[in-house]
Amino acid sequence: MKTIKNLLFGLLIFSALSTAAKGKPFEVKVTGEGNPILLFPGFACTGEVWDATVVELSKKYECHVFTFAGFGDVAAIEKPWLPKIKEGVVSYISENELENPVLLGHSLGGALALWMAAEGNSYKELIIVDALPSTGVLMRPDFKSEYMVYDSPYNKQLLAMNDTDFEAMVVQMASGMTKEKSNQEIIKNWMILADKETYVYGYTDLLKLDLREDLSKINAPVTILAATEPYGLEMAKSTYDLQYKALAEYTIDFANGSSHFIMYDQPQWFIKNLKNALKN
């Protein structure tokens, strides 16, 4: 009997360790009451990017704010990173019995929302903030998903980069994502804090994702809030028209003069248009 008890205890310990080793694909902070809204941050960002947004939305809605594995203080998970994030969010909705939630996503988070809506029709509405169904197309004109692999010279170079060079790179990147220096500093620090392999391989997952044709499967209403910088309004319009042409119907508003983080560059415009989208 003692042997059996020891065996069962051992199995329980092994199961607990296995679960811990697998890790969670995200952490969620819930604020407010009402109809649920899931808020997905962009790549390398934490849920704090939505702090000002949640102050407003939580007055009428139940806000579920995500921070994905490998970012902030959330432990990293094994790759493939983005598919596990998507599967985890779908399970989270089911386990918490969230009926017809609104999906609000910035950048990577917007692509995630599109991916979920292309595979399921249980979402009330999508609000996409400066996000495209295929980021990889921007990187190379002959883009194909199979070109994006983990074992690439570029990824090896990033993984081998020392801290000083990596910081110099992300400082340059952050400077083009928002106007104010203080917000650039926030974004830079998120990138530095990110788990290095998640930063490298997770971005490969995003580049590999191509939803342009799958947009035709989306039935939920879609509102896009888009930035115009760095290439101007006409180029932004052209890019969005081309990438979203398979989506039967959507509403798009451009934040003229804003960089990628619209919620930072034009906060009043952003909240106003966000509330309008939710009303409609």
Q: Are 128 and 110 in contact (CB under 8 A)?
A: yes
Q: Which residue's entry shows tokens 């704010």?
A: 65
Please count the structural domains in the chain.
1
Mean pLDDT of 119-134: 96
Note whether residue 242 is domain-resident.
yes
**pLDDT above 50: residue 5:** no
Mean pLDDT of 221-244: 97
**pLDDT above 50: residue 131:** yes
Note whether residue 17 is domain-resident.
no
Q: Give DSSP secondary structure letters for 41-99.
A: --TT--GGGGHHHHHHHTTTEEEEEEEETTSTTSPP-PSSHHHHHHHHHHHHHHHTT--
Note whether residue 189 is domain-resident.
yes
Helix (H, G, I), strand (E, B) or coil at 220: coil
Round to whole Å and give the CA distance between 170 and 192.
8
**pLDDT above 90: residue 91:** yes
Least confident range of 15-24, 61-70, 160-169: 15-24
Helix (H, G, I), strand (E, B) or coil at 210: coil
Note whether residue 11 is domain-resident.
no
Average pLDDT, the chain: 92
Q: Quote the pLDDT of residue 22.
A: 55
Q: Considering the entire predicted model, what is its pTM?
A: 0.91
High-pLDDT (> 70) share of the chain, %: 92
Q: Which two structure tokens, joined as six digits, stand for 160?
A: 């081998």
**pLDDT above 70: residue 138:** yes
pLDDT band at 139 (very low <50, low <70, confident <90, very high): confident
Note whether residue 170 is domain-resident.
yes
Note whether residue 137 is domain-resident.
yes
What backbone torsions phi and psi does residue 241 show, to the nearest 5 degrees? -60, -45
Quick one: residue 78, left, alpha or beta (phi over 0 = left, psi -120 to 50 = alpha)? beta
Q: Would you report the helix, strand and coil content of the chain in percent, each value rounded to 5?
A: 50, 15, 35
Q: Is the dihedral of CA 173, 105, 257, 136 positive or negative?
A: positive
Round to whole Å and give the CA distance between 91 and 74.
18
**pLDDT above 90: residue 258:** yes
Angle between helices 181-193 and 163-175 (to 10 degrees): 140
Note whether residue 15 is domain-resident.
no
**What's 150's domain CATH number?**
3.40.50.1820
Least confident range of 4-13, 46-55, 248-257: 4-13
High-pLDDT (> 90) share of the chain, %: 89
Q: Quote the pLDDT of residue 140.
A: 79
For 177-214, b where at least 16 C-beta lie within 10 A, e where not — what string?
A: bbbeeebbebbbebbbebbebbbbbbbbbbbbbbbbeb
Note whether residue 124 is domain-resident.
yes
> Could you tell me which of 93, 88, 90 has the C-alpha nearest to residue 68?
88
Mean pLDDT of 186-212: 97
Neighbouring-strand partners of residue 254 = 226
Q: Quote the pLDDT of residue 121.
A: 87
Q: Quote the pLDDT of residue 21.
A: 38
**pLDDT above 60: residue 196:** yes
Domain that holds residue 238: 27-279
**pLDDT above 70: residue 10:** no
Could you give the C-alpha distances from 187 to 14, 27, 72, in angstroms and in order? Answer: 39, 19, 11
Mean pLDDT of 253-277: 98
Q: Are 131 and 67 in contact (CB under 8 A)?
A: no
What backbone torsions phi and psi does residue 37 show, to the nearest 5 degrees? -125, 130
Mean pLDDT of 163-181: 97
Helix (H, G, I), strand (E, B) or coil at 222: strand
Q: Are 275 and 58 in contact (CB under 8 A)?
A: no
